[in-house]
């Protein structure tokens, strides 16, 4: 969830620690920074009164200072804090209940303790000095113990300093010891605390640092995507697990085995899925994998560079330059994947995402690690560590920044090919890309025939190849309308819509135009003649307005979209004193959309939809 969105869901008290932290960083930042000066001037130097978008701008301006501040504070904390930060910064945990975080911590601690005891037993039973993996673990353990007990020699509390840790990190890199093993060995020297009280104490400390938000009403922890990126950098994690998974999916079995062999992991009798899972959960640095671990020993530098070139193609990375050195090509891969989320959400609309999600859920025939049948929902819960009673929906996935591509990469290569065949898509090219393209194209076709949808012209829709039940036309019109508004770069607030909807009344669209101001949108189809049901529509929208205002939002406008409106409807809307209503024909919205898409640098604002009465689409289209 983006910082701006997180801020809009919290009250002033819940935001206070973060804002205090940001205030201090802005005060000590470079006074020559134009962004900081301009934004602070806009809010009269009072950050606590700033809007979410202004606070987001300030955060971006001091992101480097925020990272250094968080790094210094986290360095003073014990290992239990490091373990919790690792959990909180993982995919799917950006919004989670405190009780679920406690369960994840307990599960992680148990797994870590088990690995630590296994290493202790293996090292204790081995006398060999053959530079095997166990021998390398012993070398690292002895060095870590010296670093830990150095302070005791000068009568100080045992601790590992930053300098010592940097040396240990370099040592683990050259000894090819994975991150999970490093943490387990440190756990043997300085046991990590377990228990609910430890988690609660660490969460409060992180909140005081301004690193996380806690929603007391829902007992939830929230960490914005921007802060997760900072935490990953502090941990030395260059790529989120969901993006690392994409790389592992396109590697061969032999390459996966090479990575595991480098770290002394078992490969005989291990399935491809288990190999990928082991690599993901071992914390192996992605740069080490791509620069040395996945290759055969005989592979020279040119072979390695050529392999990365093929990998860039396999990952559908569209880069202007792929670089000439190994490091440059690794940088291209990491930078492209780290910045992929926004473009991936833009490539397919929310409606297209939902349609794809529903189709995969219906046709998915997966198996879990034990070989038992598994649903798509179960796979998503497992891989993204979602709580059992959490609803898994497209809205929830979008809030957790899980893109359609992220979801498709949860499926193995064989599962994706099987799904592609069930959907009767082309066997040429990347099957994941073909699936995405298919649902993006379906959405485009609905927009192309938007006016026929509005008029419920079933025969025209059938003629152009849109396979749709007549009873579903209203829902598809609503989805197409939402998609058009999204592509006009308007912010659709699904979270608020979900909160105000009841079993009886459901608002179609909510557009956020500022932190507190919204537009309520209604998409109405009409088969014969003009849309004329003003009294019914009026009761609906006034109920939505009241619910939105109860959520602390100000309804700047109500926007009703229909194929056309009766004269009585137009006059009643103009004379309504309780709400501000704008009317827009389906043809008019399509005209605005076409004008927007035709311009290289379109200039469109949601405020153009708040003029009231029947909007003149041709004038709005010209102003774009």
SS3 511: strand
pLDDT digit string (tens) for 532-555? 999 999 999 999 999 999 888 899
Structural contact between residues 390 and 227, judged by C-beta atoms closer than 8 angstroms: no
Structural contact between residues 419 and 363, judged by C-beta atoms closer than 8 angstroms: yes
- How much is the mean pLDDT over the chain? 91
Q: How confident is the model at residue 182 (pLDDT cuts 50, 70, 90)?
A: very high
Give mean pLDDT, residues 170-199.
94
CA 343 and chain centroid, separation: 12
Q: What are φ and ψ of residue 99, in 5° steps?
A: -60, -35
- Torsion-angle region of 271 (φ positive above 0: left; ψ -120 to 50: alpha; else: beta): beta
**What beta strand segments (E) does 228-384 contain?**
366-367, 373-374
Q: How confident is the model at residue 38 (pLDDT cuts 50, 70, 90)?
A: confident
Q: How confident is the model at residue 4 (pLDDT cuts 50, 70, 90)?
A: confident
d(CA 70, CA 224): 15
* Token pair of 303 as six digits: 């072979």
Q: How far apart are the first and last CA of the chain?
A: 30
Antiparallel, parallel or unpaired: β 581-585 and 613-614: parallel
Say what the pLDDT of residue 444 is: 84
User: Could you tell me which of 388, 380, 401, 378 has the C-alpha nearest to residue 104?
Assistant: 388
Residue 515 has pLDDT above 80, yes or no: no
Q: How confident is the model at residue 31 (pLDDT cuts 50, 70, 90)?
A: low
Residue 567 has pLDDT above 80, yes or no: yes
Taking residue 221's Cβ as centre, other Cβ atoms within 10 Å add up to 21
Say what the pLDDT of residue 503 is: 77
Give mean pLDDT, residues 486-508.
86
Q: How confident is the model at residue 45 (pLDDT cuts 50, 70, 90)?
A: low
d(CA 246, CA 258): 17
pTM of the model: 0.80
pLDDT digit string (tens) for 388-441? 888 899 888 988 999 999 999 999 999 999 999 999 999 998 999 999 988 887
Q: Which residue has the tokens 């019109």?
A: 477
d(CA 290, CA 262): 13
Q: How confident is the model at residue 603 (pLDDT cuts 50, 70, 90)?
A: confident
d(CA 530, CA 514): 33
- Torsion-angle region of 56 (φ positive above 0: left; ψ -120 to 50: alpha; else: beta): alpha
- The single-letter DSSP state of residue 139 is H
Say what the pLDDT of residue 78 is: 85
- The single-letter DSSP state of residue 585 is E
Structural domains of the chain sorted by starting position, each given as residue range(s) with its CATH number in brackets:
1-61 (no CATH), 73-237 (no CATH), 241-338 (no CATH), 348-448 (no CATH), 462-623 (3.40.1350.10)
What's the burial of 289, exposed, middle or buried (CB within 10 Å: 0-12/13-18/19+)? buried
- Please name every residue paired with 598 in a beta bridge, in sequence order, or none if there are none: none
d(CA 446, CA 479): 9
d(CA 271, CA 283): 19
Say what the pLDDT of residue 510 is: 94
d(CA 158, CA 12): 41
- Torsion-angle region of 571 (φ positive above 0: left; ψ -120 to 50: alpha; else: beta): alpha
- Please name every residue paired with 342 in a beta bridge, in sequence order, or none if there are none: none
Say what the pLDDT of residue 425 is: 93
Residue 48 has pLDDT above 80, yes or no: no
State the number of CA atoms in the 13 A half-sphere of 201 facing the CB: 10
User: Could you tell me which of 3, 5, 91 has the C-alpha nearest to residue 492?
Assistant: 5
pLDDT digit string (tens) for 318-376? 888 999 999 999 999 999 999 998 889 878 877 788 889 999 999 998 888 788 899 99
Q: How confident is the model at residue 474 (pLDDT cuts 50, 70, 90)?
A: very high
SS3 263: coil
d(CA 288, CA 330): 10
Q: How many residues does the chain have?
A: 624
Structural contact between residues 242 and 223, judged by C-beta atoms closer than 8 angstroms: no
**What beta strand segments (E) does 103-195 contain?**
none
Give mean pLDDT, residues 94-118.
96
Structural contact between residues 134 and 265, judged by C-beta atoms closer than 8 angstroms: no
Residue 99 has pLDDT above 90, yes or no: yes
Q: What Cα–Cα distance (Å) separates residue 549 from each residue in 369, 492, 496?
A: 48, 17, 11
Instruction: Output the DSSP codes for 322-362.
Output: --SSHHHHHHHHHHHHHTHHHHHHHHS-HHHHHHHHHHHHH
Q: Which residues contact 265 (CB under 8 A, 6 or more apart)?
A: 178, 278, 282
Say what the pLDDT of residue 153 is: 81
Say what the pLDDT of residue 30 is: 65
- Torsion-angle region of 210 (φ positive above 0: left; ψ -120 to 50: alpha; else: beta): left
Go through 46-84 and write b for each residue having 16 or more CB atoms within 10 A of its CB, e for each that does not.
Answer: ebeebbbebbbbbbebbbebbbebbeebbeeeebbbbbb
Percent with pLDDT over 70 in the chain: 99
Q: What are φ and ψ of residue 536, in 5° steps?
A: -65, -45
* Token pair of 409 as six digits: 């990469």
CA 434 and chain centroid, separation: 22
pLDDT digit string (tens) for 147-168? 988 888 888 878 888 888 889 9
């Amino acid at each position: 969830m983006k910082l701006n969105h997180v801020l809009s869901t919290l009250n002033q008290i819940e935001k206070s620690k973060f804002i205090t932290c940001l205030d201090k960083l802005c005060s000590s930042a470079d006074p020559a920074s134009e962004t900081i000066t301009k934004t602070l001037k806009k809010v009269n130097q009072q950050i606590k009164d700033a809007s979410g978008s202004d606070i987001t701008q300030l955060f971006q301006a001091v992101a480097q200072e925020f990272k250094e501040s968080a790094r210094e504070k986290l360095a003073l904390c014990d290992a239990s804090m490091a373990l919790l930060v690792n959990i909180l910064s993982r995919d799917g945990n950006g919004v989670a209940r405190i009780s679920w975080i406690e369960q994840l911590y307990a599960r992680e601690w148990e797994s870590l303790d088990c690995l630590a005891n296994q290493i202790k037993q293996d090292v204790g039973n081995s006398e060999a000095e053959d530079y095997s993996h166990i021998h390398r673990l012993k070398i690292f353990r002895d060095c870590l113990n010296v670093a830990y007990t150095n302070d005791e020699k000068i009568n100080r509390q045992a601790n590992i300093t930053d300098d010592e840790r940097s040396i240990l990190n370099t040592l683990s890199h050259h000894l090819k010891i994975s991150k999970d093993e490093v943490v387990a060995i440190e756990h043997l020297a300085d046991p990590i605390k377990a228990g609910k009280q430890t988690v609660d104490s660490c969460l409060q400390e992180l909140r005081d640092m301004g690193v996380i938000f806690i929603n007391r009403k829902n007992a939830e922890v929230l960490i914005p995507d921007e802060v997760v990126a900072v935490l990953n950098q502090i941990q030395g994690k260059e790529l989120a697990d969901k993006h690392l998974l994409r790389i592992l999916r396109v590697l061969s079995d032999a390459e996966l085995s090479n990575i595991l062999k480098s770290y002394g992991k078992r490969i005989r009798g291990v399935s491809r899925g288990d190999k990928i899972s082991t690599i993901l959960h071992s914390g192996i640095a992605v740069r080490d994998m791509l620069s040395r671990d996945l290759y055969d020993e005989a592979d020279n530098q040119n072979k390695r560079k050529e392999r990365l070139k093929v990998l860039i193609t396999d990952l559908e990375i569209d880069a202007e330059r792929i670089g000439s050195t190994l490091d440059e090509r690794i940088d291209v891969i990491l930078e492209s994947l780290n910045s992929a989320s926004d473009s991936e959400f833009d490539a397919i609309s929310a409606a297209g995402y939902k349609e794809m999600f529903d189709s995969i859920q219906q046709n998915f025939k997966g198996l879990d690690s034990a070989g038992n049948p598994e649903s798509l929902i179960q796979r998503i819960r497992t891989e993204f560590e979602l709580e059992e009673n959490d609803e898994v929906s497209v809205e929830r996935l979008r809030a957790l920044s899980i893109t359609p591509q992220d979801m498709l990469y949860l499926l193995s290569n064989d599962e994706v090919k099987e799904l592609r065949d069930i959907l009767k898509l082309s066997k040429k090219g990347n099957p994941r890309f073909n699936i995405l393209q298919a649902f993006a194209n379906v959405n485009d076709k609905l927009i192309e025939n938007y006016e026929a949808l509005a008029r419920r012209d079933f025969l025209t829709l059938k003629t152009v190849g849109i396979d749709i039940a007549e009873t579903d036309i209203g829902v598809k019109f609503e989805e197409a309308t939402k998609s058009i508004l999204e592509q006009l770069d308007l912010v659709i607030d699904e979270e608020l819509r979900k909160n105000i909807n009841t079993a009886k009344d459901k608002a179609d669209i909510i557009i956020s135009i500022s932190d507190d101001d919204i537009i309520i949108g209604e998409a109405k189809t009409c088969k014969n003649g003009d849309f004329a049901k003003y009294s019914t529509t009026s009761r609906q929208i006034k109920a939505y307005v009241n619910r939105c205002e109860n959520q602390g939002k100000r309804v700047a406008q109500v926007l009703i979209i229909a194929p056309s409106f009766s004269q009585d409807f137009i006059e009643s809307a103009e004379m309504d004193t309780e709400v501000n209503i704008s009317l827009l024909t389906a043809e008019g919205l399509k005209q605005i959309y076409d004008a927007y898409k035709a311009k290289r640098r379109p200039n469109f604002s949601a405020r153009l939809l708040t003029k009231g009465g029947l909007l003149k689409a041709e004038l709005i289209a010209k102003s774009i």
